[in-house]
Amino acid sequence: MTSTGVTATDADGGLDLSAAPSAETPRGRRGHWAAVLWPGAAALVTCLVWTVLESTRLGIPAPFEDAAMLFRYADNLAAGWGIAWNAGQAPGVTDGATDLGFVLLLAPLTLLGLSTAAAAVVVNLAAVFGIGATFGVLNARLWRRSRALPIALAALVGGGPVDRYVLSGFSPPVLGLLLLGAFTLAALAPLAATARGATVGLVAAGAVAGLAGWWRPEAFAFGPLVVIFGMLLTAGARRRVFTLPLVGCVVVPFAAFVAGWIGFRIGYFGQLLPTSAVMKSGSLHPENILFSLQFYGSLLLPVIGALIAVALGRGRDRNWWVAGVVLATPLLWVNAALPDYFWDKIGVSVAPTIANVATVVVFVPVVVALAVVGRRDRSWLFPVALVLFSTSWIVIGTTLNWWGRMQWPLVPVLAALAASHVVDAWARTPRVTAEHPVRGRAVPKMVLAALACIGVVPFHLPAGSYFESPFQTSVSAALGAVDTSRVRIATTEAGLIPLAVSGAALDTYGHNDRAIAATQGSALASRLDEFRPNVLALHGLPPDPVSLADCTPERQRGVTKFTERWSEMVSEIYRSAQRQGLVLERLSETTPCETWSVWLAPDVDPQVRQAVDGLVMPGTDVPVGARGQGS
């Protein structure tokens, strides 16, 4: 019998999902709690193990540069200054807090005595646990299989790049929990025993989807999508028809959250889009779909491999090697985890091209095949969702960032969809017969292959990690140890360094400055003249007076690691330093033509000057004179 798109059969030990629940005993209630807590614990422990391993092996600090921007907003909000980059500044002047929900949550936690970095770690770990626990709820109410299924899913999701988000202070786990929660509520609503219960479930699904949009604005697009896929997954349960009033139960609370967000944005900040969206507005990256397919495909391959094996293997002995081949293919998609410059360094520049071709030639036909095979039992939902989510990032990337940490929150939803179809396909597979004698023997092999894949997913390779610059860490530590209330720092590194300064800061690239962002950097000169910094912390090509043997003018005009806009920004800051009388105090070079420098005004506080003099600069320290002349 099929009641939800997940099939239960007597031969397979399945249960009728529409059956009335039996009376609970204390032991039964403990079993229900265990069904939820064990998957949550599995996700949390897996994440913590990777967190400990990578924090000791790679030395990833918390927070990472972009996360530190959010922490500065949260600190100012907790101090009563509002959601502002600088104390006393109008919110609309900066407005770089893209993860608005994260800032609103961190601020009250800091009032309890936690630092923003510690609060972020606690919130993210709680969200990781919540994701695993939600898999447990899905298994208890929908899949009705062994507890090993949600535990394995929880370990898979907790074993991806999640530990790096936790270590670096980003918040994808929380958004992932919100989207998975909306999906789960929508999927379970049709299974409710009463029409009232179904209505409450749909209202909650719409509300959680709207809340996700407050966390990050792209969730206003993905929230409704995950709710739709959840509703479609169990659309046949109890023969309920999604009438217009039932659909309204989802739309009304979601629309209320959207309207509230728009009103808050315009009323508080004075504009709808955050500064980072203004900077990127209009850019089009059609290649995003390749990155997205590689990203989701690599992280979900254990589930995809199991789905292919049970959907196409039909219980024969080839199940194990079909799964093994599919589960080994993350090696084709390492481009999603390793940046291009990594391949250039080791002399294999063709690797990204191979990965992109492999994505199209191997992955897309597999997804299409799954969609065709599952056209009758709704297992087409997973491949359709995978392609739709990946394609959506082309549109979202025209305004918002589309990096892996932004895309990860959809991984738990995709994993839940794929697992639903694995359960359904497995239930439809014949048991041991003369024709299909080996279904049971294939299971251990598939499980071992899945576990092996979790260990070799390339997102745990060092080159795919977050690395903090020693310059940012050193400068922030030095300034954080002295009184910086009179410091006015302008910096290209608008994360850890401004977070360590209690005085005012100017983000010269514009992530946290509306005027610079809106003019694509043209307003930088006027903003510097208005801001009058007394400290500069810069990363870019060396200033003109400095002569470096390995950085000739010809080389500076050639290919460097800096974009044209970045170099123009740094040159404008150098000109402003000359106009305002700031002096080059420290300079170092890490690679040819890549320099890090600190400039000070003559009247800067002596303790700040002493802290800068004691800095341990990255790379090779270049001696500079009082007027910035290289020696």
Together in a domain, 193 and 305: no
Q: Which domain holds residue 144?
A: 28-170
97 Cβ neighbours under 8 A, 6+ residues apart: 69, 70, 73, 83, 103, 274
Structure tokens at 167: 């270590």
Q: What is the pLDDT of residue 504?
A: 96
Last residue of a domain, one of 170, 197, 221: 170
What distance in Å separates the CA atoms of residue 429 and residue 11, rounded to the nearest whole number?
10
Q: How confident is the model at residue 314 (pLDDT cuts 50, 70, 90)?
A: low
Together in a domain, 479 and 501: yes
The answer to whether position 21 is within a domain reads: no
Tens of pLDDT, residue by residue over 137-191, are: 999 999 988 888 899 889 889 987 888 888 888 899 999 999 999 999 999 998 8
| DSSP-derived secondary structure letter, 359 | I
Buried b (16+ CB within 10 A) or exposed e, 68-101: bbbbbbbbbbbeebebbbbeeeebebbbbbbbbb
Q: What is the pLDDT of residue 432?
A: 46
Together in a domain, 180 and 120: no
Q: Yes or no: say if 458 and 338 are a contact pair by the CB < 8 Å rule.
A: yes
The answer to whether position 400 is within a domain reads: yes
Tens of pLDDT, residue by residue over 42-85, are: 999 999 988 887 776 555 556 777 888 999 999 999 999 999 99
Q: Yes or no: say if 198 and 192 are a contact pair by the CB < 8 Å rule.
A: yes
The answer to whether position 9 is within a domain reads: no
Query: What is the β-pairing status of strands 488-491 and 504-507?
Result: parallel
What distance in Å separates the CA atoms of residue 448 and residue 425, rounded to the nearest whole number?
20
Last residue of a domain, one of 209, 240, 274: 274
What distance in Å separates the CA atoms of residue 309 and residue 289, rounded to the nearest whole number?
25
What distance in Å separates the CA atoms of residue 602 and residue 91, rounded to the nearest whole number?
31
The answer to whether position 502 is within a domain reads: yes
Q: What is the chain's mean pLDDT, rounded?
A: 80
Residue 504, number of CB atoms within 10 A of its CB: 22
What is the full DSSP assignment across 281-301? Answer: TT---TTHHHHHHHHHHHHHH
Together in a domain, 528 and 454: no
Q: How confident is the model at residue 421 (pLDDT cuts 50, 70, 90)?
A: confident
What is the full DSSP assignment across 510-564? Answer: STT-HHHHHTTTTTHHHHHHHH--SEEEEEESPPTT--BTTB-HHHHHS--SS-H
The answer to whether position 627 is within a domain reads: no
Together in a domain, 456 and 384: yes
Together in a domain, 460 and 387: yes
What distance in Å separates the CA atoms of residue 585 and residue 517, rounded to the nearest whole number?
29
Structure tokens at 283: 């850019």
Structure tokens at 514: 């509306």
Secondary structure of residue 603 in the 3-state scheme? coil
Last residue of a domain, one of 434, 468, 502: 468
Structure tokens at 290: 């390749």
What distance in Å separates the CA atoms of residue 352 and residue 343, rounded to the nearest whole number?
8
Structure tokens at 582: 């700031």
Q: What is the pLDDT of residue 20?
A: 43
What distance in Å separates the CA atoms of residue 312 and residue 381, rounded to the nearest whole number?
17
Secondary structure of residue 468 in the 3-state scheme? coil
Secondary structure of residue 402 in the 3-state scheme? coil
Residue 455, pLDDT > 50, answer no
Secondary structure of residue 451 in the 3-state scheme? helix
Q: What is the pLDDT of residue 300?
A: 79
Together in a domain, 493 and 601: yes
Q: Yes or no: say if 464 and 458 are a contact pair by the CB < 8 Å rule.
A: yes
Residue with tokens 């800091």: 110
Q: What is the mean pLDDT of residues 87-102?
A: 88
Together in a domain, 446 and 352: yes
Nearest C-alpha neighbor of 496 from the set 169, 276, 175, 278 = 169
What distance in Å separates the CA atoms of residue 116 and residue 69, rounded to the nearest whole number?
11
The answer to whether position 22 is within a domain reads: no
**Cis ω on the peptide bond leading into residue 63 (within 30° of 0)?**
yes
Among 351-355, 366-370, 442-446, 526-530, the minimum mean pLDDT is found in: 442-446
What distance in Å separates the CA atoms of residue 343 and residue 353, rounded to the nearest whole number?
11
| DSSP-derived secondary structure letter, 313 | H
Together in a domain, 242 and 386: no
Q: What is the mean pLDDT of residues 283-311?
A: 73
Tens of pLDDT, residue by residue over 98-116, are: 889 999 999 999 999 999 9
Q: What is the largest CA-CA distance in the chain?
A: 90
The secondary structure of 82-141, three-state, reads: CCCCCCCCCHHHHCCCCCHHHHHHHHHHHCCCCCHHHHHHHHHHHHHHHHHHHHHHHHHH
Backbone angles phi, psi at 610, to 5 degrees: -65, -40
Q: How confident is the model at residue 569 (pLDDT cuts 50, 70, 90)?
A: very high
Together in a domain, 159 and 197: no
Chain Cα centroid distance, residue 617: 31
Structure tokens at 541: 């090509």
Q: Which helix (H) or strand (E) holds 598?
A: strand 594-600
What distance in Å separates the CA atoms of residue 167 and residue 62, rounded to the nearest whole number?
5
The answer to whether position 580 is within a domain reads: yes
Residue 255, number of CB atoms within 10 A of its CB: 13
Q: Yes or no: say if 415 and 229 are a contact pair by the CB < 8 Å rule.
A: no
Together in a domain, 433 and 291: yes
Together in a domain, 166 and 305: no
What distance in Å separates the CA atoms of residue 330 and residue 457, rounded to the nearest whole number?
6
Nearest C-alpha neighbor of 306 from the set 292, 286, 322, 317 = 322
For the chain, the domain total comes to 4
Among 102-111, 316-325, 411-420, 577-586, the minimum mean pLDDT is found in: 316-325
Q: What is the pLDDT of residue 17?
A: 44
Q: Yes or no: say if 322 and 308 are a contact pair by the CB < 8 Å rule.
A: yes
The answer to whether position 501 is within a domain reads: yes
Q: How confident is the model at residue 21 (pLDDT cuts 50, 70, 90)?
A: very low
